[in-house]
Structure 1
Amino acid sequence: MNRSQTSGIRQAITRSIPSRRDLLRCQSGIALTEFAMAFPILLIFATSGLELTNYALTVKRVGELAVMVSDNASRMGAQSAINNKPVSEAEINDVFIGADLQAANLNLSQKGKIVLSSLQRNEDGGQTIKWQRCFGGGAYQSAYGPEGTGATGTSFVGMGPEDHEVTAAAGTAVMVVEIHYTYKRLMPIITLPLHDITEFSAYNVRDSRDITQVYNTENVTPSTCT
């Protein structure tokens, strides 16, 4: 190979390698580079938004479920033309079964707990939890005390938020429902301050009810909270 051929090859190689100035001016891959840098941030925003939306919907569903349970519990009691309507353990169990069916994919029996309390007046004119029944697999206990709380005296002021407690009038009862639900994140890799959900609802009983006790003529297993 003579000198002129070598020189030609060298010039061809030099022309094929872009200069530093050409590299600095080149913008052909800038969009892809920007997308690669922004994608993790966009992914965090998208997954966080999805998580927050799911959490808000879950809170709404649990709240609606609490209202439904307290409403249904307020309607319990076998019709009687001569006596006040008695409440049975079977009816309480039916209310819980209906709540579990309504909850559907919330898996309430494993991830949550329903606490149903009958708030009534005691003989001293104070408030008492006459009876209390539970459904679900959670370890949650009523924030206002177990069955028998306030049986005597007037120190137990009622159930509900402080300074806004629900109270029962003489001769009637209030069906108080607490639902505690353990929220499981959709995206466990995203750290958001999402706490377990606790909802409260209360309905006064709808008709004249026998509030002296819960009957069990059907011999079913009571849904006790122990």
Structure 2
Amino acid sequence: MTRALRPVRHFLRRLAAARDGVIIIEYAFYLPILLLLGLSGAEITNYIITRMRISQLALHLADNAARIGTGTQLQQKTINEVDINDLLTGAGLQAGELDLFTRGRVIISSVENDPANAGKFRIRWQRCRGSKSYDSPYDNTKTNLAGVGPSGRQVIAPTDGATMWVEVSYTYRPLVKEAWSPSLDMVETASMMVRDRRALTPAATVDANGDGVLEVAGEAASTC
């Protein structure tokens, strides 16, 4: 009986001393942790990149809105609804797969001096585009403003000029899991002073709204 059990005991001793499968067992323990770290890192990275792109979109919109206009250097430039709609369409193309106007909302505001209140400012006109529901905290009052924007970083208009104020609200699309992203709603703002002399009060015959944006036949305004 002892001789018959000898091979079994020998096999058990070899099995107890074997270390060939240790790395596989250890890997099985570490794999979930590695996956969690890798996927959460990918989610946070994607969120940061998306937020940076939204921030750059806001900045480019403000910059382009400050440049648009028709006219020569010898006269005040005018802007019309086509200019603004082209501006918004370009932002949507720049956003690409972010699907800006389905998952977000863009608001462009013209901050100008308030003639009825010396030293104060007003939002003369606004144009918006996007399906997302977003209530701007900066335009509840549109006249007699000390500035527009978050406290401590409010923007104002230059004398006889305007400043373009842009808000972009966007709902983030998670790459892996919603719970791993810092948040879903992001809002980025930017402003630029209008470079050239802009006609802020065109003739009423071509500007029925009286807000400084020329109407164009057949062109629907992107009103808010």
TM-score bracket, normalised by the shorter chain, equals 0.7 to 0.9
Residue 37 of structure 1 and its aligned partner are, at CA, apart by: 0.5
Residue 174 of structure 1 and its aligned partner are, at CA, apart by: 0.4
Task: Map 1:1-226; keep pairs closer than 5 Å.
Answer: 7=1, 11-12=3-4, 15-16=7-8, 22-80=14-72, 83-123=75-115, 124-125=117-118, 126-145=120-139, 149-151=141-143, 153=144, 156-188=145-177, 191-212=180-201, 213-225=212-224
Other structure's SS at 2:70 match: coil
The 1:139/1:189 distance shift into structure 2, 3 A limit, reads closer
The 1:76/1:42 distance shift into structure 2, 3 A limit, reads same
> Structure 1 unaligned runs (5+)?
1-6
Residue 193 of structure 1 and its aligned partner are, at CA, apart by: 2.5
d(CA) in 1 for partners of 2:69 and 2:112? 16
> Structure 2 unaligned runs (5+)?
202-211
Other structure's SS at 1:210 match: coil
CA RMSD of aligned residues (A): 2.2
Other structure's SS at 1:206 match: coil
The 1:11/1:71 distance shift into structure 2, 3 A limit, reads same
d(CA) in 2 for partners of 1:211 and 1:98? 24
Which range moves more in the overlay, 16-25 or 36-45?
16-25
Residues 169-207 of structure 1 deviation map (CA, whole Å, 9 limit, x = unaligned): 231110111111111111117534334221111011111
The percent of aligned pairs where both chains have the same amino acid is: 35
Check the 8 A contact 2:112/2:161 in 1, yes or no.
Answer: yes
The 1:158/1:73 distance shift into structure 2, 3 A limit, reads same
Check the 8 A contact 2:43/2:177 in 1, yes or no.
Answer: no
The 1:17/1:193 distance shift into structure 2, 3 A limit, reads farther
Check the 8 A contact 1:48/1:190 in 2, yes or no.
Answer: no
TM-score by length of 2: 0.86
The 1:202/1:113 distance shift into structure 2, 3 A limit, reads same
User: Number of paired residues?
Assistant: 212
Residues 89-117 of structure 1 deviation map (CA, whole Å, 9 limit, x = unaligned): 11100000111111111110111111100
Check the 8 A contact 1:122/1:150 in 2, yes or no.
Answer: no
AA of the residue aligned to 1:137: S
The 1:82/1:222 distance shift into structure 2, 3 A limit, reads same
The 1:70/1:19 distance shift into structure 2, 3 A limit, reads same
